[in-house]
Chain A
């Protein structure tokens, strides 16, 4: 008879915050769209080009995800599921788009406007059922 009572509990699942938003490689990459005619990059990906109001010219585009810190804030107590305190940054991505996302590994660093950030994939929040949600985060690079 198998001892089912001794089986360890299943580890909580991890899910990406959105399908095909990033590639969890080393180094990680963001996934957006690039217009093959104009060269403009969109993140997150678009179904059609809202700048030219046209369809059929966007391609799936993986890119570095590095950028510069434009502004930031530390949220003292977030919504349930968000580990607090957490930091958000307004990022000017090197590829062109802007984005507001969580900072990673920021606590012991002196944040400055224009500071370089690199992409990491990490913990965004935890759902009520224990599922961990992963997503793109931005690591301030000192020096």
Chain B
């Protein structure tokens, strides 16, 4: 099977950007990614290329609207939506199109504009019954937190330590929405959003875009590029029917996606040096460290408390970019932004937040509230430095 390499990455600052349209945010990210790839933009017209855009709310033909501004109209383009996993899905779809022979090069990007006056929750989904009745995402994760606390003894302080860790890394990443630290006391004292989750336990509402350039092995050789970062394996799954939707103390679909990705990569959690994880709420990082196999079930609280998930810790460095806690979660951009972090970390270009000896990285997204399903989609990707 054709090997896939990440040869370029770009990402806008995440945060409120009321005066910039989503397609302009995306253009900036794509342009930066192309510039960093060493491939002239004209090559995407000269060589078989595709573009895949991930987003949830940006309207029809978003990829076309974005890339025409660079002069890259006319390519085969796909627009994908998988809620919070839209960006990851875009990368996986782009890689599949290279492997199928449809293309040699791919531009995979994602963007979202979520800020509006007053900020707040994602819009209600009118035809989803539980959403229509007020089941907002913080509430779903709050009930997950309650179960995790009850079943495993996870504490509010342990959950707050996730925010403390990731907000500290946000100060090291100029592209983050939040670039200031918080303390456990500040997290616990901040206003309640959905008990036990406080405002500082939740990611901010942000706008942003990110992009990566993928190349197959043959294109890499033809273009005279040295492979530096490989997308070794990926897995995309959708949620199973569950008794209580997403409310549980684990994410079966994340576990399933991870297992598939590990099998395809011929690697295991013990091989992972860093992870950009889906952590829109503090409890999510605790649970997903367990789901992804970084620690035993129920041990996620201790994992963060012990410092094992810190940069330079003895375990997997989780969310060295600052995670969704610091960056925010512009839905379509998130999965691609995670991949950009892999690109910089695995090339040793992450500056002050560099994970020492980063060789293998894993990205994880999950999301999409659907009544009766755990969630809509989960995507896991494994990258390796060459």
Contacts and interface: CB of A to CB of B under 8 A. Distances in A.
B192 interface: yes
A102 B242 CA distance: 19
Interface string A12-23: 000001100100
Given A70-B247, A90-B244, A98-B243, A113 B134 contact: no
Given A76-B194, A88-B143, A71 B132 contact: no
Contacts of B193: 75-77
Contacts of B197: 73
A124 B129 contact: no
A76 to B, nearest CB: 4
Contacts of B129: 17-18, 21, 44
B138 A90 contact: no
A2 to B, nearest CB: 40
Given A78-B134, A124-B134, A113 B150 contact: yes
A88 B245 contact: no
Contact of B143 (A17, A18, A72): A72
A86 B193 CA distance: 11
Contacts of B143: 71-73, 88, 90, 100
Contacts of B138: 75
B223 interface: no
B324 to A, nearest CB: 20
A74 B140 contact: no
B176 to A, nearest CB: 25
B50 interface: no
Contact of B134 (A18, A72, A99, A125): A125
**Interface extent on A, as a size class?**
20 to 34
A135 interface: yes
A76 B133 contact: no
A101 interface: yes
A50 interface: yes
Interface residues of B, number: 33
B120 A90 contact: no
B247 A90 contact: yes
B136 A79 contact: yes
Contact of A73 (B130, B146, B243): B146
Contacts of A77: 193
A88 B135 contact: yes
A121 interface: no
A61 B191 CA distance: 42
B281 to A, nearest CB: 12
Interface of B: 120-121, 124, 129-130, 132-136, 138-140, 142-144, 146-147, 150, 191-197, 241-245, 247, 371
Counting from the closest, the 6 A-B pairs by CB-CB distance are A73-B142, A98-B243, A71-B143, A98-B244, A76-B192, A73-B194
Interface of A: 17-18, 21, 44, 50-51, 70-79, 82, 86, 88, 90, 92, 97-102, 113, 124-125, 135
25 contacts: A17-B129, A17-B132, A18-B129, A71-B147, A71-B244, A73-B142, A73-B195, A74-B192, A74-B194, A75-B194, A76-B192, A79-B124, A79-B134, A82-B134, A88-B143, A97-B243, A98-B242, A98-B245, A100-B133, A100-B143, A100-B245, A102-B134, A124-B132, A124-B134, A125-B134
Given A51-B241, A70-B147, A74-B192, 16 more contacts: A18-B132, A70-B244, A72-B143, A73-B197, A75-B138, A76-B191, A79-B134, A90-B143, A90-B247, A92-B243, A99-B244, A100-B130, A100-B245, A124-B132, A124-B133, A135-B133
